Each structure stands twice: as structure tokens, then as C-alpha cells.
Amino acid sequence: MDTDRLMLALAADNDHRPQPVRMQLAMALLVTLPAATAMMLVTIGMRPDFMAAMRNPFFDLKFVIALALAIPAIVISVHLSRPEASLGRWVWMLLLSPFILIAAIIAEMMVPQRTPMMMRIMGKNAGVCTMLISLLSLPILGAALLALRHGAPSRPACAGALAGLMSSGLAAAIYAAHCVDDSPLFVAVWYTIATAAVTALGAVVGARVLRY
């Protein structure tokens, strides 16, 4: 092959570069988020008093807490998809959601309550909450791991755990539209249990499928 042909071949190869991980992940979320939302709507539906509940700041905070976990996890997942990347100073971003949750718990404690603390912790649908957040997370987690396979994370278990955090945070935001338990104490216990389970699953699966 002469030089001109070689240059043309290299140029053709450059035209077919794979899409970066952030684009793969964006497409994965664009497909799975509507699917998970539709799954929630056709099975359990939104809470009947959704519009009225939006005037309750503790109801709104459930979405804020969930997205404050999911969005940093998305950013860090893309960062960790590069072989030279490390968690390092990015860890602080993961503290945003717990910080908001703790602030919400303190705020609730300052408001006079007629409902005992244990009833606020247990809520009305504790088991359903944990199960459904975990189930809604699964399609998001699977698609996220497939997208991250286009990268080359040096710490696949860590990248998988971040995918689990991302997936559970997004699933929690979807489930919050149905959840009738608005106490930050309920969120701190049951949303956290679901998040921990999905994060552990992401770490275990990621250690296998994201290895290169």
C-alpha cells in the first residue's frame, strides 16, 4: 500500500471512532429512564395527592436528595471510565446528598410532630419502598454498565459501585412520585437500604464486566 492509500485508510478509520463514554451513558439513560418511569406508572402509579404533596417541602426534598446522589455519581462514573482516573478529590461530591438529608432530618426535628418518631421511620410502605427502588434500578444499572464498558476504568468495582449509586438515585427519584412517606427519617433508612443493595450489586457486577 502506498502512502496516499495509507493516509486515506487512516482518515476513514478516524471517521468511525466509537462514541465517548459520556455519549454512550447519555443514550443509555435516555432509553432506560423513560422505561423505568413507565414501569412505575403502569404498576403502582403516582401518589393520589401528588399535586397537593408538592406544597410539602419534605416531599420535594426526596427528589432533591435522590438527584443530589445520582448526578454526582454520573459525573464521577464518566471520570472513572478513563484508565488513568482516580476517585481522589471527586469523593466530596458524593457527600452532597447525605448532607442535604441530615439537614432535612434536623429541620424535621425542629418542627412539632404529632406522629411518633418510630412511625415516621417505618412509614406505611417500608418494604415496598426498598423493593421497588431496587427493581426500578436494575434496567438503569444494566444499561449504565454496558455504556461504561466502552471506557477502560482502572478500578472496575469502584466504577460499578458508582453506576449502582447513579441507578439507585435515579430510581429513587422516580419512586418518590409514588411514595407517601415524606419523613426524612424514612428516606434515611429505607431509601438508603435500597441504595446500598444496588451499589453493592453494581460493584460485584462491575468488577467482572468492566475489567479490561
Residue 73 has pLDDT above 50, yes or no: yes
- For residue 5, pLDDT over 80 is answered with no
Predicted pLDDT at 10? 44
Q: Check residue 18 and give its pLDDT.
A: 60
Return the higher-pLDDT residue of 177 and 86: 177
Q: Are 185 and 118 in contact (CB under 8 A)?
A: no
| pLDDT tens string 113-146 | 788 999 999 998 898 999 999 999 999 999 999 9
- Rounded Cα distance, 131 and 85, in Å: 33
Q: How far is CA 70 from CA 16, 25, 119, 161, 200, in A?
A: 31, 13, 28, 12, 15
Report if pTM > 0.85. Answer: yes
How confident is the model at residue 40, as a pLDDT? 94
Burial annotation 31-70 (CB, 10 A radius, 16+ → b, else e): ebbeebbebbeeeeeebeeeeebeeeebbebbebbbbbbb
Q: Cell numbers at residue 177, please?
A: 412520585
Across the range 96-116, mean pLDDT stands at 92
pLDDT tens digits along 150-181: 888 888 999 999 999 999 999 999 999 999 99
